[in-house]
Amino acid sequence: MAAAVISSTAAAGAPDAQGASPLAQQGARWAADPAVGDCGICHHLPGHDPRDQGTVGPSLAGVGLRLDEDALRALLTDARALRPGTVMPAYGRPATGPRVPPALQGKPLLPANVRDAIVAWLTTLRHG
């Protein structure tokens, strides 16, 4: 995957990430980065142009009000364990299969530090 050039709005993550902890701010950047989290491929990310965002998953606006940190972490780790039939990947489980690049075989799609940062950001999203 090619590294993405992130605009200053995306670099801040979203208006909700401004004033947040450095971990949450990093999570906002990683969530928006197509080379890392790429959450916007399926979800609308607050503070980003909705025309450039996905609609397969729910909008992330206000998700910090709807779900607590434990629920967000569980969904990011293995959404299918909680919501069978979802198309959201299990970012915290070992990846296997023909579509997984060899370098990621048997490893989580997102390392724990990236998942922790994204969860920290998601908890800041309290406006819907």
CATH of the domain at 110: 1.10.760.10
User: Is the pLDDT confidence value at 7 over 90?
Assistant: no
In a domain, 1, yes or no: no
Which stretches within 1-128 are classed as H helix?
8-12, 22-32, 63-66, 69-82, 112-122
Q: Would the pLDDT of 12 be above 70? A: no
6 inside domain: no
**Residue 55 is assigned to a structural domain of this protein:** yes
More confident of the two residues 91 and 50: 91
Is residue 116 a part of any domain in this protein? yes
- Closest residue by Cα to residue 82 from 97, 67, 100: 67
Range of the domain at 112: 15-122
**Mean local confidence (pLDDT), 46-73:** 92
| Cα–Cα distance for residue pair 36/29, rounded to 1 Å | 9
Domain membership of residue 78 (yes or no) is: yes
